């Protein structure tokens, strides 16, 4: 068997940093998607009507996404200044406490429950922003370059199943508050596993070098080439959150517009999408290795997801089962999430890598806010289907352009610094 630095392939891929990063992302995705899963039952349980739940639910999602944007900046800069492990510990404590607090929302008397819900999801968003970027950075820097794509795909493939477990937790518990308590408890248990994880060797090599600029977010804007690469890293991920944040989250609206007689459950749509994303992420690393290209793997998967979008909107589906099946298709095609975050990490030097890998996916998540605004603004004149299509055209145009023009990073050595 081929060895890498004295270890076998499997010893690297199933090392503690990879396992802990995968479990951490599992908890992260469970908590990140939990509001989308319990959006309708939780808001109806707090006394809102179905019409109010749609509008208020969008507001709460936007609060969570703003939290992700700000948290991405906070944890990304901290990850480069203080180390990858500081983020892994700090972020999980933050979102675990926020999720436990969400379980107590029905008992809140000192302020409006909906306002409390918005702010707690904002705090959860801040915490959730740090998990993926720090985990992917740590794994990327810990594995040999020949195994990076497979290792990060394993992290995401396992992690993305958190959304599936979240759906089953809600259904089996019969109470949305219990699902929040479970998420918080899993987070605190994960802290115990993280005690044995060591810092990235590549990062430790620069910790004592005072002259090296670390975590300077504004340096992405002071160099034209670096700035363009940073924007393209964000652009690659745009189609992923269009498919999840617009088509899956708002699937009840699309179901009604398509004339599907059954009531569409967004929680189930999200679950099936994430089953597809998990499978896609498992496969994306192997596809990248086979093609010897990150860009080709992402472009092929993005094209596959685009076909799914067109079928979702225009194939005239008339059953809930077919809609859920297409959500799974969309997930499979957008299962390049780990690959796109890995590309973001590989584009930049060790002193900016955590900042890039943490802020990039959270800016993509935050892009759901303008996508939601456009979707809502265009619905009255275009109807639900065409409004969704118009937003999708923008997301995919940006995604394909960014993917095809960004520098290739397959087999790139990561031991370098940004000037």
Q: State pLDDT tens for residues 284-329.
A: 878 888 888 889 999 999 999 999 999 999 998 889 999 999 999 9
Which among 49-53, 59-63, 262-266, 327-331 has the top mean pLDDT?
Answer: 327-331
Residue 299: its pLDDT value, please?
A: 94
Label residue 203 by pLDDT band (50, 70, 90).
very low
Domains located in the chain, CATH noted: 8-195+217-405 (1.20.1250.20)
Whether residue 241 contacts residue 362, with contact meaning beta carbons closer than 8 Å, is answered with no
Q: Report the DSSP pairing between strands 3-4 and 7-8.
A: antiparallel
DSSP one-letter code for 111: S
Residue whose token pair is 């990327």: 140
Whether residue 164 contacts residue 107, with contact meaning beta carbons closer than 8 Å, is answered with no
Residue whose token pair is 């949305």: 176
CA gap 118, 194 in Å, rounded: 30
Whether residue 280 contacts residue 333, with contact meaning beta carbons closer than 8 Å, is answered with yes
For 52-66, 215-229, 384-398, which range has the lowest pLDDT when averaged over its residues?
215-229
Helix and strand element counts for the chain (H, E): 19, 2
Label residue 350 by pLDDT band (50, 70, 90).
confident
Which among 107-121, 277-291, 403-417 has the top mean pLDDT?
Answer: 107-121
Whether residue 335 contacts residue 152, with contact meaning beta carbons closer than 8 Å, is answered with no
Closest CA to 193 of 78, 338, 21: 21
Residue 200: its pLDDT value, please?
A: 46
Residue 302: its pLDDT value, please?
A: 95
Residue 1: its pLDDT value, please?
A: 42
CA gap 396, 242 in Å, rounded: 9
Q: What is the pLDDT of residues 4-29, one digit of tens each?
A: 555 666 566 677 778 887 888 788 88
- Whether 272 has a pLDDT exceeding 80, the answer reads yes
- Whether 201 has a pLDDT exceeding 80, the answer reads no
Q: 200: which 2 tokens? A: 């990235």
For 132-136, 174-178, 378-382, 412-416, which range has the lowest pLDDT when averaged over its residues?
412-416
Label residue 354 by pLDDT band (50, 70, 90).
confident
- Whether 387 has a pLDDT exceeding 90, the answer reads yes
CA gap 183, 166 in Å, rounded: 8
Burial of residue 413 (CB within 10 Å: 0-12, 13-18, 19+) is exposed
Whether residue 356 contacts residue 344, with contact meaning beta carbons closer than 8 Å, is answered with yes
Closest CA to 206 of 141, 131, 250, 266: 141
CA gap 175, 37 in Å, rounded: 12
321, 303, 409, 365: CA torsion to nearest 10: -50
Give the 3-state secondary structure of residue 213.
coil
Helix (H) or strand (E) holding 3: strand 3-4
CA gap 292, 304 in Å, rounded: 19
Across 229-252, average pLDDT: 92
Whether residue 257 contacts residue 384, with contact meaning beta carbons closer than 8 Å, is answered with yes
Give the 3-state secondary structure of residue 4.
strand
Residue whose token pair is 């469970």: 30
Cα angle 74, 166, 170; round to 5: 130
List, in sequence order, every residue forming a beta bridge with 3; answer none if it has no partner: 8
CA gap 220, 363 in Å, rounded: 14
Across 387-399, average pLDDT: 96
Prediction pTM value: 0.77
Closest CA to 84 of 358, 331, 310, 280: 358
Residues with Cβ within 8 Å of residue 211, at least 6 apart in sequence: none
Give the 3-state secondary structure of residue 414.
coil
How large is the angle between the packed helices 368-405 and 353-366, nearest 10 degrees? 130
- Whether 198 has a pLDDT exceeding 60, the answer reads no
First to last CA, the chain: 39
For 6-10, 174-178, 195-199, 388-392, which range has the lowest pLDDT when averaged over its residues?
195-199
Give the 3-state secondary structure of residue 359.
helix
């Amino acid at each position: 068997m081929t060895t890498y630095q004295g270890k076998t392939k499997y010893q690297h891929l199933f090392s503690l940093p990879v396992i802990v990063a995968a479990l951490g992302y599992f908890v992260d995705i469970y908590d990140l998607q939990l509001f989308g899963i319990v959006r309708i039952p939780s808001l109806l349980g707090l006394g809102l009507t179905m019409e109010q739940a749609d509008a208020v639910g969008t507001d709460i999602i936007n609060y969570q996404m703003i939290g992700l944007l700000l948290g991405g900046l906070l944890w990304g800069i901290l990850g480069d200044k203080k180390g990858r492990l500081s983020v892994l510990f700090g972020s999980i404590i933050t979102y675990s406490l926020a999720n436990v607090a969400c379980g107590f929302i029905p008992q809140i008397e000192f302020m409006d429950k909906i306002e409390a819900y918005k702010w707690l999801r904002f705090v959860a968003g801040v915490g959730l922003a740090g998990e993926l970027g720090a985990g992917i950075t740590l794994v990327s820097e810990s594995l040999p370059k020949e195994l990076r794509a497979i290792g990060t795909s394993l992290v995401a493939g396992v992690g993305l199943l958190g959304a599936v477990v979240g759906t089953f937790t809600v259904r089996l518990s019969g109470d949305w508050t219990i699902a929040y308590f479970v998420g918080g408890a899993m987070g605190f248990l994960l802290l115990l596993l993280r005690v044995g994880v060591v810092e990235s060797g590549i990062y430790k090599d620069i910790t004592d070098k005072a002259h090296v600029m670390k975590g300077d977010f504004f340096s992405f804007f002071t160099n034209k080439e670096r700035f363009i690469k940073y924007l393209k890293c964000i652009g690659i991920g745009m189609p992923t959150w269009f498919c999840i944040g617009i088509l899956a989250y708002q699937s009840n609206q699309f179901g009604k517009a398509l004339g599907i007689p059954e009531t569409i459950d967004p929680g189930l749509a999200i679950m099936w999408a994430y089953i597809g994303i998990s499978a896609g992420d498992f496969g994306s690393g192997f596809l990248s290795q086979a093609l010897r290209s990150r860009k080709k793997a992402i472009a092929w998967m993005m094209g596959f997801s685009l076909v799914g979008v067109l079928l979702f909107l225009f194939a005239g589906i008339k059953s809930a089962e077919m809609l859920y099946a297409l959500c799974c298709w969309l997930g499979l095609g957008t299962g390049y999430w780990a690959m796109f975050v890995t590309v973001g990490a590989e584009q930049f030097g060790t002193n900016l890598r955590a900042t890039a890998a943490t802020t990039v996916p959270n800016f993509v998540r935050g892009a759901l806010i303008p996508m939601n605004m456009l979707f809502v603004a265009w619905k009255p004149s275009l109807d639900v289907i065409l409004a969704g299509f118009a937003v999708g055209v923008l997301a995919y145009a940006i995604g394909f352009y960014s993917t095809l023009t960004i520098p290739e990073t397959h087999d790139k050595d990561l031991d370098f610094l940004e000037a």
